[in-house]
A and B are shown apart, each in its own frame.
Chain A
Amino acid sequence: MTHGLNRIRALVVMIALAVACLPAMTGPAGAQEAGAQAVNPTAMSVQADDLLQQEGKLQGYLAQPDPKLAVLEQPQGRQWRVFHESWLPWGAGILILAVVLLLGGVYLVKGPIQADEVSGIKILRFNVFERFTHWLTAVSFIILALSGINYIFGKRYLMPLIGPDAFGTLSQWGKYAHNYLAWPFMLGVLFMIVVWVKDNFPKRGVDWAWLKAGGGVFNNTHPSAGRFNAGQKLIFWWVALAGIVMSVTGIMLLFPFAAFGVNGMQITQVVHSVVGFLFIAVIIFHIYIGTLGMEGAYDAMGSGEVDVAWARAHHDLWVEEQLRR
């Protein structure tokens, strides 16, 4: 067999040499073209596997007016599938479990951060519009997160429980929820940036000291902070940036192929899901601090008012500024 192959190879080389020696033929490329013109189709013309190897995918002309269908073959779909069915569920699953276990451990070992400071006098921390903005974003985020999680984990855990038909119907509603609640979420992120950006620029000295003291969590002190401490500022900037990334990639997914071809859509989806799960992890942490993790914190977003003594302890610079007015 190798014998036969060698003989064919020798023959091909000989023919190529013979053709290359003809006048006006300058190289192998010329040789191929000449062959193609003499008889078409010929043995020299395109080979499916060679083309695919050169270009990574096969693309051509199509009679139907739909550019995405002009891609004949894109093996990248197989890679995207490996991401979507192995990397993503494993990565996301481990991330979310780790965050929940970590916070559960902290809660059991250390318990909530106590609020000993009670004066009985209340001070307004977040006005109605700020609270509306927060809850608009929060409620739509939670539903987006749950319906997003369903895209990946639903078929693995929920479907065996409720059966394929019920799961199909539920997922259909989940999809509608994800597609429509995306808009209030985007509006919420926008409002949030507008109302809070001024309080979230880093402040020389204060923020760095706060971070170095670990927010005072470990030694039960209260490092100085303005309206938002450095930890809250980090959450703000994360929500602003990740919110924008989710919005842009989400809109691309809502209007597929408006801007990208199929490989672009795959990357868009990867970004949307990876940032989505990081977002969920950060927000689980945020919810923990705002409710179970720290006494007195929830009121700020619930009624909007907090105890002055609590505020003095946690946001001393902000209280001073408020009282100076």
Chain B
Amino acid sequence: MARLKFLCDANRCIDCNACVTACKNEHDVPWGINRRRVVTINDGKPGERSVSMACMHCTNAPCAAVCPVDCFHATDDGLVLHSKEICIGCGYCFYACPFGAPQFPQATNFGSRGKMDKCTYCAGGPDADLSEAEYVRYGSNRLAEGKLPLCAEMCSTKALLAGDGEIIAQIYKERVVTRGYGSGAWGWKTAYGETITVT
């Protein structure tokens, strides 16, 4: 069984935001919600790096642990998905998530913030695969169609990798060895409790 992960090679990311746009378009994500975003570290300074970030689908996910209504479930591939039917929009998952992945349709909580929305790894949600209900709530389910996440698929520099953790780690290692440097697997230690060491 694969363990699906994301890996952003910050030495390749050019901050073009195409992954952000593709994700919004593919899943028809409402205004104000960005399932994926690109953050630039050391902006304008030497050593500047950009990193594309969405839900990392953590091992032993903090969001799932703190949810007061336990609306998360982990798939066999290690994805962390949630049920918008059960979610009450309390926002705790955002406080627990190390990567700022959970998003809410409204900023304030007074009355309601609405149901949480986040990256599904293009894998939909608990509704029936490829159903209308699933599309409306979670966006398209590319995994059920045998495809990988769109953001990584269309990344022009192939900075963003998605797929089985071991395979993408191997690709990254080969790149680092070939070009002689790499800034590391951003977020991996926090998300998966491991880093990619190149020896």
Query: A residues within 8 Å of B by Cβ?
Result: 1, 4, 32-33, 36-37, 40-49, 51-52, 58-64, 66, 68-78, 80-81, 84-85, 150-152, 154-155, 159, 164-165, 167-168, 171-172, 175-176, 179, 253-258, 262, 265-266, 269
7 A-B pairs (CB sep. < 8 Å): A1-B199, A61-B40, A64-B20, A73-B53, A73-B98, A75-B98, A176-B112
0 or 1 for each of B4-30: is its CB under 8 Å from A? (1 = yes): 000000110001010010000000000
B190 touches A78 (CB 8 A): yes
**Contact A262:B46 (CB < 8 A) given known A43-B181, A81-B62, A175-B90:** no
Q: Report Cα–Cα, A151/B107, bound state, in Å.
A: 20
**Contact A41:B181 (CB < 8 A) given known A4-B199, A75-B190, A256-B91:** yes
Nearest residue, chain A, Cβ from B56: A73
Nearest residue, chain A, Cβ from B11: A41
Option from B15, B17, B86 in Cβ contact (under 8 Å) with A168: B86
Main secondary structure of the interface of A (DSSP, over half): helix
Q: Report Cα–Cα, A203/B126, bound state, in Å.
A: 63
Option from A43, A58, A151, A172 in Cβ contact (under 8 Å) with B41: A58
A164 touches B46 (CB 8 A): no
Minimum C-beta distance from A37 to chain B (A): 6
A68 touches B68 (CB 8 A): no
Q: Does B100 sit at the interface, judged by CB under 8 A?
A: yes
Query: B residues within 8 Å of A by Cβ?
Result: 10-11, 15, 17, 20, 34, 37-43, 46-49, 51, 53, 62, 65-71, 83, 85-92, 94-100, 107-112, 180-181, 183-187, 189-190, 195, 199
Q: Beyond the given A62-B39, A254-B110, please list 5 additional residue pairs across the A-B interface where CB-CB is below 8 A.
A: A32-B47, A41-B11, A52-B189, A74-B98, A255-B108
Main secondary structure of the interface of B (DSSP, over half): loop
Nearest residue, chain B, Cβ from A263: B95
Q: Report Cα–Cα, A42/B46, bound state, in Å.
A: 10
Nearest residue, chain A, Cβ from B43: A61
**What are the residues of chain B within 8 A of A46 when measuring CB–CB?**
10, 41-42, 47, 49, 183
B49 touches A45 (CB 8 A): yes
| Complex A-B, nearest 9 residue pairs according to Cβ-Cβ distance, in ascending order | A43-B181, A36-B46, A45-B47, A48-B184, A168-B86, A61-B43, A60-B41, A81-B62, A72-B39
Option from B39, B46, B95 in Cβ contact (under 8 Å) with A269: B95
**What are the residues of chain B within 8 A of A63 when measuring CB–CB?**
15, 17, 20, 37-38
Q: Report Cα–Cα, A163/B176, bound state, in Å.
A: 49
A51 touches B41 (CB 8 A): yes
Q: Report Cα–Cα, A84/B49, bound state, in Å.
A: 33
**What are the residues of chain A within 8 A of B20 when measuring CB–CB?**
63-64
Q: Report Cα–Cα, A103/B49, bound state, in Å.
A: 60
Minimum C-beta distance from A67 to chain B (A): 11
Option from A74, A164, A257 in Cβ contact (under 8 Å) with B69: A164
A48 touches B66 (CB 8 A): no
A33 touches B46 (CB 8 A): yes
Option from B46, B69, B96 in Cβ contact (under 8 Å) with A81: B96
B88 touches A60 (CB 8 A): no
B95 touches A266 (CB 8 A): yes
**What are the residues of chain B within 8 A of A253 when measuring CB–CB?**
109
**Contact A60:B184 (CB < 8 A) given known A172-B88, A179-B111, A256-B109:** no
A47 touches B184 (CB 8 A): yes
**Contact A68:B181 (CB < 8 A) given known A254-B109, A265-B95:** no
Option from B100, B112, B186 in Cβ contact (under 8 Å) with A68: B100
Q: Report Cα–Cα, A152/B53, bound state, in Å.
A: 30
B109 touches A70 (CB 8 A): no
A81 touches B65 (CB 8 A): yes
B107 touches A256 (CB 8 A): yes
**What are the residues of chain A within 8 A of B15 when measuring CB–CB?**
63
B40 touches A62 (CB 8 A): yes
**What are the residues of chain B within 8 A of A85 when measuring CB–CB?**
65-66
Option from A66, A72, A74, A172 in Cβ contact (under 8 Å) with B51: A72
**What are the residues of chain A within 8 A of B89 when measuring CB–CB?**
175
A159 touches B69 (CB 8 A): yes
A165 touches B86 (CB 8 A): yes
Minimum C-beta distance from B162 to chain A (A): 18
Minimum C-beta distance from A4 to chain B (A): 7
Q: Report Cα–Cα, A129/B106, bound state, in Å.
A: 38
A171 touches B69 (CB 8 A): yes
Minimum C-beta distance from B51 to chain A (A): 6
**What are the residues of chain A within 8 A of B49 when measuring CB–CB?**
41, 45-46
B186 touches A48 (CB 8 A): yes
**What are the residues of chain A within 8 A of B189 when measuring CB–CB?**
49, 52
Q: Report Cα–Cα, A60/B91, bound state, in Å.
A: 23
B85 touches A165 (CB 8 A): yes
Q: Report Cα–Cα, A84/B95, bound state, in Å.
A: 11
**Contact A40:B46 (CB < 8 A) given known A73-B186, A256-B107, A266-B95:** yes
